[in-house]
Structure 1
């Protein structure tokens, strides 16, 4: 069977976050394209580059890379030319301009953006916190959170938690289900830390059906039923009013936009500046 999908490869000699963010920002402008994103971090030898490019040559591929090691940059360019694979260097043009600006060569040291300083360890701790207290796994962690997100299924609780954790914010999130009473631990969280998330019923119906399809399940189940979704939204609204917490509708917002609103509401954007 012919594979008509596009493959976008991200290659980095470090964590690869710079390449990921730039690439995803660009891909958001092509929302109608079906593509597979493949990320390769901490690539430090030519053999690994050869394997990645050889794999990419089997598909409709583009390789976006941020490598500061000259040997790797040359290897990627050479191999992509050999295999007729499109590639784009995200780092070298910027470094060259700064070398001209400062009048001296760049250090060309991988991972310079992520030095092992206090900020790095705070970020790691925040990410571990988000994973540990995701989806209401352990409500004991709510009192230690900077932000507690509430919402019914598919209101972007987990993506927001992970995004904010990379900003050094400790986030816990708790699902709301009509059949399950609101836990007492939520009532003990200071109101300025609580954020309610909601979505339009149409969008929820759409994303839940897609979620079921991805899991290989039928869309004709209560989870994606429109009346059920309206019931859940109504329940969540009642909870938010009872708690007196601000509510954000994520229906037409990117994760970055919603996260920015959360930081502003909680005052954490001041802390991060």
Structure 2
């Protein structure tokens, strides 16, 4: 004979269903009829579920975290002789005792965490795909576009902001290469220019060349070349009309905070 289990939740109810199936596999060949009651938000919903459960001789397995709903379900099920099992309560009590704090009692928090996780992964993948101007199509789809000469922290800044769930593309500005037209066709406040003092950039590039086993005399670290690049980048930034941040003495986190503050101010 097939047994019926009502899975009741003030959220989706995925956790309850998985646990019910795991337990059911130990009985009756795992054959149970599961009926879902998701997003239960009021007493009226519970009254209807309890009536049906009693008429169908069903077990209620629930993951309800809203206190007044849980209390009503527990009390009413006991009165009516219905098996109602709170699947979260044992672990909730253990957390309460161990951490000496109270739960938020807010439904759907796990789904919100999962959604944020996947959005973060998507943003990181976006930053990798559209790093260093690899594909200019990303400019139109990015939340933030970083521009600047080489070694102005565009890549690490892109990854840091991606972890804050922003899709970031970055484009290097090089005098010999015309900037992509897409930069001039997006809202100017979506683009952020990164500048740095010539001497600081010279130091960074010399160190970079040493790490690569190359001579510090290469044109890449030549001060005249650096001045040419910075002048070119400044002209592009002025043409776009984007905000500009001097990263000379800023850690990546500091620069990111400045950018996030700008976007927060705009209500993004």
TM-based fold match above 0.5? yes
Correspondence for 2:225: 228
CA contact (8 A) 1:149 1:196 kept: yes
Q: 251-260 or 262-271, which moves further after superposition?
A: 262-271
Q: Deviations over 1:59-107 (max 9, x none)?
A: xxxxxxxxxxxxxxxxxxxxxxxxxxxxxxxxxxxxx9x9363399xxx
Q: 1:116 to 1:103 in 2, by over 3 A?
A: closer
Pairing partner for 1:154 from 148, 151, 154: 151
Pairing partner for 1:217 from 203, 214, 217: 214
Q: 1:130 to 1:268 in 2, by over 3 A?
A: farther
Q: 1:125 to 1:100 in 2, by over 3 A?
A: closer
Alignment coverage as a number of residue pairs: 168
TM-score scaled by structure 2?
0.58
CA contact (8 A) 1:263 1:269 kept: no
Query: CA offset at residue 263 of structure 1?
Result: 1.3
Alpha-carbon separation, structure 2, partners of 1:171 and 1:138? 12
Structure 2 residue 180 is matched with structure 1 residue 183: yes
TM-score scaled by structure 1?
0.57
Q: Deviations over 1:212-238 (max 9, x none)?
A: 011111111110001111111111111
Correspondence for 1:32: none
Larger Rg: 2
Correspondence for 2:100: 101
Pairing partner for 2:245 from 243, 248, 253: 248
Q: Deviations over 1:14-42 (max 9, x none)?
A: xxxxxxxxxxxxxxxxxxxxxxxxxxxxx
Alpha-carbon separation, structure 2, partners of 1:175 and 1:101? 51
Where does the alignment leave 5 or more consecutive residues of structure 1 unmatched?
1-95, 105-112
Alpha-carbon separation, structure 1, partners of 2:151 and 2:99? 48
Alpha-carbon separation, structure 1, partners of 2:156 and 2:240? 23
Structure 2 residue 123 is matched with structure 1 residue 121: no
The runs of at least 4 aligned residues of structure 1 exceeding 4 Å deviation read 113-116, 268-271
Correspondence for 2:189: 192
CA contact (8 A) 1:114 1:120 kept: no
